Structure 1
Amino acid sequence: MSNAANCPFDLLVHLRRTDALGAAGAVGLALARRLDAWTTGLHVVPMAPVAFASPEAVALYVNEADAAYRDALQRTPFWQAALDAHGVHGEWQVGQGDVVESLCHASRWNDLVVVERPQLNPDAPIGWGTVSRTVFGATASVVVVPDSAMATTVGQRIAVAWNRSREAALAIRGALPLLARAESVQVFEGEPSENPLGLRNLPNVDLRAWLARRGIDATMVPFGARSAIGAALLDAAHKMDADLIVMGAWGHSRITELVLGGTTRHLFQHSDLPLLVAH
């Protein structure tokens, strides 16, 4: 553990391995340096319930899992060296059990959770995998990092997707510390999301003024895409040379997006930029 420091922001980085930072580690540490955050590296040794279906295999499986857990606990120097290299403070933790449950549990006392999403070999269909379920269950915003991401900077130039939805508002709130430190913030303002209750004349928010009151000078950009929204948003982010996209996730049900497609599904599958999302 690093020496205690005045770190008002807590950031959690999920490491799939204990011998390499991977894309999530690189992005997480870059964010930690930008935010001066207390940064926890978390590795979870999985224990799948299906392994206990066969009594004969239980003892062997538990022994192997416990050995992996003990080995992971010894990886503190690896994480400490990474923290020192980036000039940030933090600690190393190891969990055992279900990865999603561990991440959602730890999100309760962290301000941001950084997870890596495999692009070529996803662990489950978009909407039901580890990352998607973590976004649904976490109490903090989640930074989804494609494993192919080549992050040299994160949070300098931020693209924000805004449709006045609950999810988009939560993502923006979670991103406020980063938005306040960004060199450039462009808000792509699309059509308002459908009101699920069918209510009329709800109170409105002037997002540009709301951000300005928090010291954030955002450029509002009309976003007129009505189809292939995910592809259009990613293209707009590339044109402004963004290094992070902030957006609400799963504004529609996962079933709808799995069957019909959707913005979250497209970006989880195709984005080469980190996504700061909330549900």
Structure 2
Amino acid sequence: MKSILLHIDQDAAFPARLQVALDIARETNGHITCLQAISYDIFTPGDVYGAAMAAALPVIRDNAEAQRAAIERELAHEGVPWDWHFVYGMAGQRLIEASPLADLVILGPAENGMGGRGPSSLVGEVVLKARAPVLVVPGEAKSFDIGAPMLVAWNGSAESAHALRAALSLLACSCKVTLASIAEGEGPGGFDLPSTEGARYLSRHGIDCEMVAIPRGEGGIAETLEAAARMRECSLIVMGAYGHARLAELLFGGVTRKMLSAPELPILLAH
């Protein structure tokens, strides 16, 4: 992961994702691009004459500059190369525009203006449209051990294959990779690609893995995957995002949506 795109915001999870970005950059000799975006759009619906925008923008700019100064002071002592991009516009769109030459985009799980209730709309937008995998870091993360065990959620879909391929450089550093599939019974949800194909792909890149089939727990697929990762002391879950129709995900709550509501450990997503 030589080029890491880090979303700068003042949400509670930011210190965690900054630390994770630093840990990954150190281990991979990577470069961190800090992207800080301020949008005028948040004032548009109820601010016909622009009065609220005119009053609030100087405060928002001052807060953004104060945050930038504090982060730059910290980065100056971390020994990791970095640069800073300050832009106007919606954060999701600006991150997507900056993603084509990024190896990884790092976001928080609850950057949705809802106090952390439910999955982030920003994450969903960036995962679906960015040209790079997205690493979602929960606010409770203290660090990222790149050599720890990692779990790949495998359902044989193109999305899970994309996620596996996108995570390759991180998986290569792991002491143990588990390719986990959830047994859901027979039916149209069967695997397009068996887990043996995923294992064969990893082996071509010099990565051994353990293939496991895990019975689905009473709590559902998301809870089953998280429990399997905890049991193996994993530092990361890798999974394909929005494998079903996005409308169905939003209406009925797919695995991706549930995993992002309150992730217990970092999740690497690719669509």
Pairwise TM-score range, normalised by the shorter structure: 0.7 to 0.9
Residue 183 (str. 1) matches residue 175 (str. 2): yes
Displacement, 1:273? 0.3
Alignment match, 2:210: 219
- Where does structure 1 lack aligned partners over 5 or more consecutive residues? 1-7
- Where does structure 2 lack aligned partners over 5 or more consecutive residues? none
Match of 2:34 among 29, 41, 50: 41
Match of 1:268 among 260, 263, 271: 260
3-state SS of paired residue (2:229): helix
> Which amino acid is the alignment partner of residue 6 of structure 2?
V
Give the aligned length.
269
1:98-247 → structure 2 map (5 Å cutoff)? 98-118=90-110, 122=114, 126=118, 129-151=121-143, 153-154=145-146, 156-190=148-182, 206-225=197-216, 228-247=220-239
Contact 1:184–1:218 (Cα < 8 Å) also in 2 = yes
The 2-side partners of 1:247 and 1:202 are apart by 14
Query: In terms of mean alpha carbon deviation, does 253-262 or 139-148 score higher?
Result: 253-262
> Which amino acid is the alignment partner of residue 136 of structure 2?
V
TM-score, structure 1 length as denominator? Answer: 0.81
Q: Percent identity?
A: 30
Residue 56 (str. 1) matches residue 49 (str. 2): yes
Residue 16 (str. 1) matches residue 9 (str. 2): yes
CA RMSD of aligned residues (A): 3.5
Which whole-Å deviations, capped at 9, do the CAs of 1:148-207 have from their partners, x for residues lacking one?
A: 3333535622111011111111111111111111122111034599879x9x98899622
TM-score, structure 2 length as denominator? Answer: 0.83
The 2-side partners of 1:161 and 1:18 are apart by 28
Query: In terms of mean alpha carbon deviation, does 49-58 or 212-221 score higher?
Result: 49-58
Which whole-Å deviations, capped at 9, do the CAs of 1:108-140 have from their partners, x for residues lacking one?
A: 221100001239974687467122212112111
Contact 2:110–2:116 (Cα < 8 Å) also in 1 = no
Residue 86 to residue 195, structure 1, CA distance change in 2 (3 Å): farther
The 2-side partners of 1:250 and 1:244 are apart by 18
> Which amino acid is the alignment partner of residue 9 of structure 1?
K
Which whole-Å deviations, capped at 9, do the CAs of 1:20-42 have from their partners, x for residues lacking one?
A: 95222122211212221111112
> Which amino acid is the alignment partner of residue 36 of structure 2?
H
